[in-house]
Structure 1
Amino acid sequence: MDFNIRRTFTLIDDKRVEAGRQANVPLRKVAVIYILENPYIGRYVEDLSPLIEASEGLGRQMAASAVRALDGMGVQSYGKGGVVGLLGEQEHANALLTTTFANPFREAIGGAKAWISSMTKVAAPGAVIDVPMNCKDDVYVRSHYDGMTLLIPDGPMPDEVAIIFCMGTGGRINARVGGMRYEEILASA
Structure 2
Amino acid sequence: MAETGAGMPIKRILTFLDETRSADGRDVVPPLRKVAAVAIVDNPFAGRFVEDLSSLTRASEAIGREICAIALRLLAPDQAVSYGKAAIVGTNGEQEHGNAMLTTVFGNVMREAAGGGKAWISSMTKRGAPGAMIDIPLAHKDALYVRSHYDGMTLTLPDAPRPNEIAIIAVYATRGRPNHRVGGLSASEIKGQDGLI
Q: TM-score, normalised by structure 1?
A: 0.96
CA distance in 2, matches of 1:106, 1:6: 24
Aligned to 2:105, what secondary structure does the other structure show? Answer: helix
Which residue among 79, 84, 102 is the counterpart of 1:79?
A: 84
Q: Please give the alpha-carbon distance, in whole angstroms, between the structure 2 residues aligned to 1:154 and 1:54.
A: 23
Match of 1:134 among 133, 139, 143: 139
User: What is the identity, as a one-letter code, of the residue corresponding to 1:105?
Assistant: M
Superposed counterparts of 1:22-37, under 5 Å: 22-37=27-42
2:101 to 96, 105, 111: 96
Distance of 2:16 and 2:191 partners within structure 1: 28
For residue 92 of structure 1, report the CA deviation from its aligned partner.
0.5
Tell me whether 1:171 sits opposite 2:183 in the alignment: no
2:110 partner letter: F
TM-superposition CA deviations, 1:1-24 (whole Å, max 9, x none): 411211111111111111010012
Residue 75 of structure 1 and its aligned partner are, at CA, apart by 1.1
* Pair 105,30 (structure 1): closer, same or farther in 2 beyond 3 Å: same
- Would you say 1:60 and 2:72 are equivalent positions? no
Deviation at 1:138, TM superposition (A): 0.7
Structure 1 residue runs of 5 or longer lacking an equivalent are none
Runs of 4+ in 1 over 4 A off after TM superposition: 186-189
Q: Is the counterpart of residue 125 in structure 1 residue 130 in structure 2?
A: yes
Matched with 2:190 is 185
Q: Using the alignment, how far apart are the partners of 1:10 and 1:124 within structure 2?
A: 19
Determine whether 1:2 maps to 2:11: no
Matched AA of 1:143: S
Is this contact kept in 1: 2:78–2:174, CA < 8 A? yes
Shift of 1:187: 9.2
Aligned counterpart for 1:14 among listed residues 4, 13, 19 = 19
Question: 1:49: which partner in 2?
Answer: 54
Number of aligned residue pairs: give it.
Answer: 189
